[in-house]
Amino acid sequence: MDEYEKAITGGADPAPRFLVDIAGMCSGARWVPSPHHDLRPDDAGVELLVIHNISLPPGEFGGPHIEELFLGRLHPGAHPYFAGIAALRVSAHFLVRRDGEVVQFVPCELRAWHAGVSSWQGREKCNDFSVGIELEGTDDLAYEDAQYESLAALARALSGRYGPLAATGHSDIAPVRKTDPGPAFDWARFRREAGGALR
């Protein structure tokens, strides 16, 4: 907190940007409900953050197509690449846009369909016990400062609801199939900014 912030807040910590409630809904995120989800197993809680990246069309940012994919509304004729993915039934809990905006598609208490065939520390089916966070980006292009800020704030909010969480990349839980979030993602920076939210 700098001197200006101390002066206007009286030295108090600012209110958190995000809060996750008992239903797994995140205040401060834009709510865009996806039909692509189901119930977690009865014995599964949120233990893991899985960090992904996505851009549609590949390498292009800012359009509506990521949301359309997660809503099951992506038109296969809108771009040549879309013909092969438009029928997929996939989702994530959150998307962090290049400008730092956070969009929520699935309540964290429910299971989003982001990890696919996956394994983490010997446990299969990572969708059962994880929250999936997509960063708008590519493996090799640096992520924006605003994205790290939002991702860290989101991790802190999730930790406030579920306790300190492990974090891993999609490439770590599905190494044969996936490469995201890629070498451009600065894990050290994320862990530093998220602080005690991660274990």
Active site residues: 134
Residue 133 and residue 105: Cα distance in Å, rounded? 10
Residue 180 and residue 159: Cα distance in Å, rounded? 23
Kindly give, in sequence order, each residue whose CB lies less than 8 Å from that of residue 64, ignoring residues fewer than 6 positions away: none
Residue 133 and residue 70: Cα distance in Å, rounded? 13
Element (H, E) at 16: none
